Amino acid sequence: MSSVKLANAIASPLLCAAPEAGMFSHLLANFDGLVYRCLVDSNWTMQFISDGCLALTGYEPEDFIANAAVSYEDLIHPDHRQHVRQVVHAALQRHERINLEYQIVRRDGTVRWVWERATGIKDMHGVYIALEGFIQDITQRKQAEQALHEAEQRYRSIVENAVEGIFQSTPDKGYLAVNPALARIYGYDSPQQMIDHLRDIDSQLYVDPQRRAEFLRCMAEHDGVINFESQVYQRNGNVIWISENARNVRGPDHAVQFFEGSVIDITERKIYEAQIRHQATHDALTGLPNRNLLHDRLQQAMANAQRNNHIAAVAFIDLDQFKFINDSLGHQVGDELLKVVGQRLRSCMRAADTVARQGGDEFVIVLDNHRSCETVTDIVRRMIALVAEPWLAKGLELQVTCSVGVSVFPNDGRDVETLLRNADSAMYKAKELGRNTFQYFSAEMNLHATQRLEVLNSLRYALAHDEFMLHYQPKVQLATGRVIGAEALIRWHSTTRGLVSPGHFIPLAEESGLIIPIGEWVLRAACAQNMAWQRAGHAPLPIAVNLSPRQLARDDIVDLVADALQSTGLDPRYLELEITENDVMRDVDKSLATLIRLKELGVKIAIDDFGTGYSSLNYLKRFPVDTLKIDRSFVNDIATDADDAAIVKAVISLAHILNLDVVAEGVETDEQRRFLVENGCDEVQGYYFGRPMPVQEFAGACFHPGHA
């Protein structure tokens, strides 16, 4: 039954005696609140009001009937009277139910919140004349709501004003909610802007995707993270460091609904920590690693050297005139000098090497992963020369030199202390030797280093003073015994050393780069000689010239060969270039391109020392090669070593299959010759047929008709 019908039933005196009346009054007595019927007038004049009236208002029902003692209008809190009237009239106009909350002032003066629901009652003309409804005390609920609202306001204020960033997020949907502080930390104008923009946290926020993966893993495994540090991008792309705490928020089914946590910006702390770390491991004046870091690096270098079977070297450097400069020109100049020296030392090193300041005017260098002492010596020499270059201080041009001691791992020591001590004592030897120089700790290495330097100097001298010459070794056709070519082999007739064979200086020339001018000289001299013989009326012979790896690697090698041919007028088919297989294999594509261009000039190409390198059949087929020269080491033992014999046979067959000429090098005996004849080798070269000979001798022996 609706409340309207109920109210009608109660309001109608005729119905009061009806059998349900007892039930209604019972119901009404238990009803928490009051039921009423009032007129739509300025006092809301009550026609009926139930007993609940007393408990709700403090007045008896009779007090209200016909406004006997008080009107309902008066009961309504003055602040709410107008509102109540407006709501009622608006509802009646729309023919809707009235539903409103407002305050009343009880008889005892206390103020209560009430909830009223009512319906308008029309007269026979359809005009609303009365209201029927009920009113209940909702003060408690209102207070609870108010308390809740205030509590929410308080929390909101904490979150909104927190300096920490606070968030709720999910692994796939981005941020659900963030506070202004987090938006600020990540460089956004507002939380909403950040939520709209940051849709893919994994890639948009985290600098290292691995770190985000680690975060998700921790959330899954430990249900949260504490002080989890990562680098993130701000909106403008800047990178900052953050530390976050987060936990999983689970639903009733225990499934994770979202993450909730807080973030602080720890960039400044990180920078500070890095500074502290740097200060602990670096020298304040020069910015170079200090003694502590030096020890670590040296330890590392030793481990690297051990692993790669290389060497590591320690160079101890002491400035020769530091004390004098410091005392006479002052500490400021002294400091400046140390900085300049530090920079200069650094500029000589590779990135992997360490330049450290040991203290005072002492520097230590760790050279990591060098194959041999040669490169170490080169660096130390460069370093000494660079330190000795003049520099300006207080308008003066000053010059200092340094003395350097070098110890080498593993020869001179297997631990940090020993290596440093030995480098230090080598440095004192360098001082004794007159300063501005270096010494290895071991006598043997010193000898090697000095000899090397002397040979390099003499080689430069040799180039400038025409000390090189070419010898020619005949190549003989086995079938006929005729000389069908020659190989030009360099000889060095040094004024100080006598005749030096190429095995002694070619590797050094190669390493130092001197091979480039030397090789060019050989090429031009061999072409010129060949032309000279032809002009003298000898039958033309192809002459082979050895090309070094460095020459082959140069972009201008083809131009150089072309120029040598053109300037001497030699027909290209009388020039053969010998290259070793390893040179070619170093950069296959580049070599192939170079060889093709050389071939286009019309010269021949031979693979020298074949069998000692790593040629693959595949490349042999692709390369424009004319001849294979079987290395001397195989030929040497063909008569006694079955393996070598087998290899030589195999190479001969291979050459024939690939349609290449094959030359056996280093044939010294008749036995070897016979073996080669039997196995179909085309050509031979070796002492048995002729040693490398000076020009005159070669002409006399090899062009003489009937010699072969």
Q: At what angle do helices 443-464 and 373-387 cross, to 10 degrees?
A: 70
Shortest distance, CB of residue 488 to ligand C2E, whole angstroms?
6
Question: How many CB atoms are closer than 10 A to CB 701?
Answer: 16
Q: Which does 683 bind (CB under 5 to 8 A by kind): ligand C2E, Mg ion, none?
A: none
Tokens of residue 596, six digits? 């093709």
**Residue closer to ligand C2E, measured from CB, 52 or 692:** 692
- What is the DSSP pairing of strand 483-494 with strand 128-137? unpaired
**Residue closer to Mg ion, measured from CB, 427 or 561:** 561
Looking up tokens 């090397």 gives 452
Sheet of 354-359: strand order equals 354-359, 362-370, 311-319, 402-409, 438-440
| Residue 502 binds ligand C2E, judged by CB under 6 A | yes
Segment contacting ligand C2E by CB under 6 A, of 179-187, 240-248, 291-299, 664-672: 664-672
Shortest distance, CB of residue 230 to ligand C2E, whole angstroms?
57
Nearest one of 429, 426, 310 to 375, comparing CA atoms: 310
- Of 489, 598, 607, 681, the residue at the interface with ligand C2E (CB under 6 A) is 489
- What is the DSSP pairing of strand 661-664 with strand 438-440? unpaired
- Of 153, 203, 495, 501, the residue at the interface with ligand C2E (CB under 6 A) is 501
Scan residues 569-588 and list those touching ligand C2E (CB under 6 A).
578
Tallying the residues shown for the chain, one arrives at 708
Which helix (H) or strand (E) segment holds residue 504: the answer is helix 502-512
| Residue 473 binds ligand C2E, judged by CB under 6 A | yes
Question: How many CB atoms are closer than 10 A to CB 249?
Answer: 14
**Residue closer to Mg ion, measured from CB, 224 or 502:** 502
**Residue closer to ligand C2E, measured from CB, 118 or 667:** 667
Residues 6 or more apart whose CB falls under 8 angstroms from that of 168 comprise 175, 176, 177, 178, 249, 258, 259, 260
- Of 506, 552, 562, 702, the residue at the interface with ligand C2E (CB under 6 A) is 506
Total residues binding ligand C2E (CB under 6 A): 23
Question: How many CB atoms are closer than 10 A to CB 438?
Answer: 25
Q: Which does 630 bind (CB under 5 to 8 A by kind): Mg ion, ligand C2E, none?
A: none
Shortest distance, CB of residue 551 to ligand C2E, whole angstroms?
7
**Residues interacting with Mg ion, by CB under 5 A?**
546, 578, 608-609, 665
Tokens of residue 379, six digits? 């660096």
Question: How many CB atoms are closer than 10 A to CB 15?
Answer: 13
Main-chain dihedrals φ then ψ at residue 67, nearest 5 degrees: 55, 40
* Strand partners for 236: none
Shortest distance, CB of residue 549 to ligand C2E, whole angstroms?
9
Shortest distance, CB of residue 501 to ligand C2E, whole angstroms?
5
Shortest distance, CB of residue 636 to Mg ion, whole angstroms?
12
CA 26 to the chain's CA centroid = 85
Please measure the distance between the N-terminal and C-terminal CA atoms of the chain and give it in whole angstroms: 139
Shortest distance, CB of residue 578 to Mg ion, whole angstroms?
4
Q: Which does 179 bind (CB under 5 to 8 A by kind): Mg ion, ligand C2E, none?
A: none
* Strand partners for 315: 365, 406
Shortest distance, CB of residue 526 to ligand C2E, whole angstroms?
8
| Residue 628 binds ligand C2E, judged by CB under 6 A | no
Shortest distance, CB of residue 506 to ligand C2E, whole angstroms?
5
**Residue closer to Mg ion, measured from CB, 581 or 665:** 665
**Residue closer to Mg ion, measured from CB, 43 or 612:** 612
| Residue 522 binds ligand C2E, judged by CB under 6 A | yes
Shortest distance, CB of residue 454 to ligand C2E, whole angstroms?
21
* CB contact at 8 A, 205 and 233: yes
**What's the sign of the alpha-carbon dihedral 498, 500, 504, 509?**
positive
Q: Which does 490 bind (CB under 5 to 8 A by kind): Mg ion, ligand C2E, none?
A: ligand C2E
- Of 272, 324, 461, 687, the residue at the interface with ligand C2E (CB under 6 A) is 687
Dihedral of CA atoms 131, 133, 139, 144 in degrees, nearest 10, equals -120
**What's the sign of the alpha-carbon dihedral 70, 72, 76, 82?**
negative
**Residue closer to ligand C2E, measured from CB, 334 or 666:** 666
| Residue 613 binds ligand C2E, judged by CB under 6 A | no
Rule CB under 6 A: which residues touch ligand C2E?
473, 489-490, 501-503, 506, 519, 522, 546, 548, 578, 608-609, 632, 665-668, 685-687, 692
